[in-house]
Amino acid sequence: MNQRAQTHSVFMGYLLWIFGFIGAHRFYYGKQISGVIWFFTLGLFFIGWIIDLFLIPSMEREAERRFVEGPVDYNLAWIFLTFLGVFGVHRFYMGKILTGLLYLVTLGVFGLGVLWDFLTLNEQVSLVNSDD
């Protein structure tokens, strides 16, 4: 029996759901457009945030099909971005030393780089994982 690749987890989705009113769990599962909407509307005025509590398992299954498994762990990269993004820890973890240093001295390039990484982190990790 084939075991599917483990790139994203339901547990991490629920952990980030706690911050879901800013779209963290939606960004994690690669849903950038709705993540931005959640960010600017506080999870569609908290109603969408509550509904997502039940949608996380299906978002996880979809993310498993979309992203590439490899040596860089998506969950760890997302923890680093969510909690230490302004210091570039997620970039150091992915082997992007120069941009990690840039984030470190500019507080995530004044926060805009962190926002960019919320939009693109899954693709960045997939790219690093496919290079190996």
Distance CA 19, CA 8 (A): 17
In a domain, 27, yes or no: yes
Do 53 and 14 fall into the same domain? yes
Do 84 and 108 fall into the same domain? yes
1, 14, 40 from 117: Cα distances, Å:
36, 20, 17
| pLDDT at site 19 | 78
Do 61 and 78 fall into the same domain? no
In a domain, 3, yes or no: no
pLDDT at 3 over 60: no
Do 14 and 62 fall into the same domain? yes
Do 59 and 79 fall into the same domain? no
Q: Where in the sequence is the domain holding 101, given as residue range(s)?
A: 74-131
> What pTM, to 2 d.p., does this model score?
0.89
Q: What is the pLDDT of residues 9-60, one digit of tens each?
A: 999 999 999 977 789 999 999 999 999 999 999 999 999 999 999 999 999 9
Do 57 and 84 fall into the same domain? no
Q: What are phi and psi of 34, to 5 degrees?
A: -70, -30
